Amino acid sequence: MVVDGLDDDASLDWIDAEGRDERTLWDFIPKGRHSTVLVTTRHGRLARRFAGKSQFVIEVNPLRSKDAAFMILGRHTTDKEKYEQAKELAKKLGGTAGALALPHAYRTKVDGKINLKEYEDMLKLPDSQKPDYTGNAVLAWRRLFRVLEKRHREAATLLCSVGVLDVQSIPKDFFQKADWKLTRTLEAYGMIERSADDRFIRVTGIVRLCLQRYLEEGKEKELVEEKVLYQLYEVLKDGEHELDEALLPSILAALKFEPKSSDGKKSAATLHLKVAQYYQHIGRLEAAKAHLEKSLMPRPNDPKRPHYLSSKDAETAKRALDKLGLDMKALPVGGLVKDGKKPASRAFSLPNPQELYTELQSLEKTSGRQHTSTIQKLAELATLRLAHPTMRQTNKNKSNALADARGLPAPKPSSNGSSSSAEPTPQQNEDTPEDDPAVLFERLLESTVETHGPKTMHTANAHYSLAIAHERQENFSKSEHHFLQAIAIARDKLGPESPECLRMLRALACLYARQGNQQAEQMFAFALKNQVKVLGATHPETLITRQNVALFLEEADEWEAAGQELERILALQAYWLGRDAQETLHTAQSLALNYAARGRRKEAEELFRATLATQEQVLGETHVDTMATAERLREFLGSAQGNGGKGNKSVKKEAKGGKKGENDGKKEKK
């Protein structure tokens, strides 16, 4: 992980919109022995606080004189006088890239004939043994900004708007089309940097500092802040859930402003509502609640309009807040069907398997089997076949399976009297070689061994994927063999307590659990203990292992304890990963099965249906997870008819063997 530009404690100890402690930057920093974090900062105190030990603090030397001279002059020079002038100027400006861009921009855009000595005299930089680098940079910036303001007033005004936002980068969505064109002028004057893909701009730290000082001295900062709030309000006022994730940091930065006017407060209230809807949409309920409450800030002395929001938006916020109170008491799973309408799918558009296979054959002929592009295409096809097994059924069988998934009637008998199944057993599997994920992953393993060697992590991951494919087909002996091969390589290359090795060990434990092998419990215990130590108790990988351990409690008929642990895991996954995350949905299905076994049928059915609806939106109707949940729900509803609606552990027992192995594998193979 790289943390760039950590220059104040507030970046570490972040608080939410209501001033309450929430997740801080510290929470996202890997803390295990196998993690590597690089932090850049200009403050030694922060460096020592972050590193913990002084030997991990590395002082980076300033720019070399010849590099600094190059940045100022725009080219290398053999003229000793010019070189010495550039060297002296760089020293007075502090030698940072942002400050050195200012004299270069001035000489490029304003006066190309002025030499550096004349430029320095024009700025009236004081001679001192200890120069005020920031003060000198401010003088250079102001001289350039005055020219920009005179020649390109609209661009200068835009710079003020982006400069008040305390964020590292600002996306293109922030700008109107005409304003975005002005960013090229700002770039030419050295005020901003544009990303290579033309999607973001960045205001350098020294320019932001100079600009904010300028606005504070002119008492214009509040006016510019309210203008930015209104600009963001105009972007979002008419949409619902249209807040772009890339724009979110800019909005949160703007919400730190303290507008005084009614219009500014109206803009801020609307932005709080939009952020709340976005957070609610992704499952961050606590953050959504804080922003909803902020959006309903009261308007003083106006009983007819008690809020700064419009009447319609105020009602929307109140309903959302009321519903949020109910949602936060319930289990955090999204995707419920509302008003009888199925939510729009957010699943990625799936490629056509036959087209992928044709592309693979073409690459094998033109580039060879060992070429990187060929191996990538093979991996893409194998992963698609593993994740979406129903895509290789005939259209008729596929439509029956999907109807079963949504409407959930009993599957129609086939001609031989048996029921069609969404996941055929090995005996029923009539895959051609290009359909069978195990065959595809076998080919991938062969290519990986030839390309990278038999004892590399590339090969370990190929063994691991092949093991999951064999397990999915209930070919347990082959699956165990490849899991053991993967673990042996990972243990040798990374160590027995490495996250990769522990993940693979957990997958093997899941396989053993399906077979009733007593080694599974010991392996789960080892994996969980070391994941807590290396990754932390709430890391996504640790939570998956905790779920597997909870299923062991069910094996011992400790249904209540298992259900409580699954509820805790579900809440943590929803908070850290989101309600729509694949891992969260795995746990939701396990908890629904637990509820069914304990006779809590209403809760079980609600959770089954909510999970299935979300999986159809996020993963797609043909994804193996979606089909598995549909099958569990069909079995649940069938058992309800058979026993008069009483609790029945048979559904759970029947599903458990497959669930333990699948729950790990479905996510891990990617």
Q: Tell me, what's the pLDDT at 352?
A: 73
Residues 627-659, buried b or exposed e (16+ Cβ, 10 A)? Answer: bbbbbbbbbbbebbeeeeeebbbebbeebbebb
Distances (CA, A) of 53 to 42, 504, 627: 17, 33, 51
| Fold classification of 537-670 (topology level) | 1.25.40
Q: Tell me, what's the pLDDT at 161?
A: 92
Other Cβ atoms within 10 Å of 81 Cβ, number: 11
* Vertex 190: Cα angle to 185 and 193 (nearest 5): 80
User: Rg of the chain's alpha carbons, rounded to an integer?
Assistant: 30
Q: For tokens 């920031």, name the residue.
A: 134
Joined together, the tokens standing for residue 670 give 């990617």
Residue 256 · residue 166 · CB < 8 Å: yes
The pLDDT score that the predictor gives to residue 526 is 93
Sign of CA dihedral 44, 49, 54, 57: negative
What's the CA gap between 304 and 317, in Å, rounded? 17
- Give the three-class secondary structure for 437: helix
Average pLDDT over residues 407-425: 37
Whether residue 395 has pLDDT greater than 80: no
Query: Is pLDDT larger for residue 422 or for residue 31?
Result: 31
Q: What is the pLDDT of residue 48?
A: 81
Residue 119 has pLDDT above 50, yes or no: yes
Q: How far apart are CA 608 and CA 593, in angstroms?
A: 8
pLDDT for 245: 75
Q: How confident is the model at residue 16 (pLDDT cuts 50, 70, 90)?
A: very low
For residue 523, pLDDT over 80 is answered with yes
Most confidently predicted of 356-370, 434-448, 500-514: 500-514
Whether 40 shows a pLDDT value over 50: the answer reads yes
Instruction: Give the length of the chain.
Output: 670
Calpha distance 578→606 (Å, rounded): 19
CB 458 within 8 A of CB 452: yes
3-state secondary structure of 413: strand
Average pLDDT score over residue span 447-475: 89
Taking alpha carbons only, the member of 562, 540, 539 closest to residue 549 is 562
Q: Is the pLDDT of residue 443 over 70?
A: yes
Confidence of residue 448 (pLDDT cuts 50, 70, 90): confident
Q: How confident is the model at residue 35 (pLDDT cuts 50, 70, 90)?
A: low
CA angle 50, 56, 62 (to 5 degrees): 95
Of 24 and 278, more confident: 278
Q: What is the model's pLDDT at position 146?
A: 93
pTM of the predicted protein model = 0.52
pLDDT at 477 over 60: yes
Per-residue pLDDT reduced to its tens digit, 561-618:
999 999 999 988 887 777 888 889 989 999 999 999 999 999 999 999 999 988 888 8
* 3-state SS assignment for residue 171: strand
> How many angstroms separate the Cα of 258 from the Cα of each of 255, 298, 418, 617?
8, 15, 69, 39
pLDDT band of residue 432 (cuts 50, 70, 90) is low
Determine the pLDDT at residue 340.
43
Which residue, 662, 670, 581, 665, is CA-closest to 629?
A: 662
CA distance 198 to 182: 13
Range name among 7-11, 132-136, 171-175, 570-574 with the lowest pLDDT average: 7-11
Q: Is the pLDDT of residue 141 over 60?
A: yes
DSSP string, 325-371: HHHHHS-------BTTBPPPP-SPPPPPHHHHHHHHHHHHHHT-TTS
- Asked if the model's pLDDT at residue 350 lies above 80, the reply is no
**Which pLDDT band, with edges at 50, 70 and 90, does 243 fall under?**
low
User: Which is nearest to 281 in space by CA: 233, 234, 248?
Assistant: 248
Q: Which residue would you say has higher pLDDT here, 217 or 413?
A: 217
User: Measured between alpha carbons, how far apart are the two ends of the chain, in Å?
Assistant: 21
Run of H or E residues at 192: strand 192-194
Please report the pLDDT score of residue 627 as a whole number: 87
669 pLDDT more than 80: no
Higher pLDDT, 126 or 394: 126
Taking a C-beta distance cutoff of 8 angstroms, is the pair 185, 109 a contact? no
* Choice among 62-66, 174-178, 374-378, 644-648 with the minimum mean pLDDT: 644-648
d(CA 353, CA 398) in angstroms, rounded, equals: 15
Mean pLDDT, rounded, for 416-432: 40
Question: What would the pLDDT profile of 302-344 be if each residue is shown by its tens digit?
Answer: 777 888 888 888 888 888 888 766 444 444 444 444 444 444 4
Between 50 and 233, residue with greater pLDDT: 233
Q: Residue 11: its pLDDT value, please?
A: 59
- Reported confidence tier of residue 239, pLDDT bands at 50, 70, 90: low
DSSP output for 248-309: HHHHHHHTTS---SHHHHHHHHHHHHHHHHHHHHHT-HHHHHHHHHHHTPBPTT-TT--BSS
Q: CB-based contacts of 68: which residues, under 8 Å, 6+ apart? A: 62, 86, 87, 90, 95, 100
- The CATH number of 65-219 is 1.10.10
C-alpha count within 13 angstroms, C-beta hemisphere, residue 4: 6
Could you give phi then psi for residue 553, rounded to 5 degrees? -60, -35
Could you tell me which residue, 372 or 161, shows the higher pLDDT?
161
pLDDT over 90 at 450, yes or no: no
Domains of the chain, by residue range, sit at 2-56, 65-219, 222-329, 351-409+430-453, 537-670
Res 283: pLDDT: 63
Q: How far apart are CA 242 and CA 542, in angstroms?
A: 33
What are the tokens at 245?
């994730």
* % the chain with pLDDT above 90: 22
Collapsing DSSP states into helix, strand and coil, what is residue 21? strand
Packing angle of the helix pair 395-406, 624-643 (nearest 10 deg): 60
Mind listing the pLDDT tens digit for each residue in 247-297? 888 999 999 999 999 899 999 999 999 898 888 776 677 788 889 999 998
pLDDT digits (tens, 9 = 90+) for 362-391: 888 888 877 777 877 888 788 777 777 655
**Closest by CA position to 609, among listed 626, 624, 594:** 626
Q: Which residues contact 166 (CB under 8 A, 6 or more apart)?
A: 208, 253, 256
Identity of the amino acid at 209 = L
Q: Show Cβ contacts of residue 386 under 8 Å, excluding neighbours closer than 6 positions.
A: 437, 441, 465, 468, 469, 472, 624, 669
What is the Cα 637 distance to its own chain's centre? 36
Q: Average pLDDT over the chain, rounded to whole? A: 79
> 198 is written with which tokens?
């033309």
| pLDDT tens digits, one per residue of 616-637 | 888 888 888 888 889 888 888 8
Q: Are the C-beta atoms of 578 and 282 separated by less than 8 Å?
A: yes
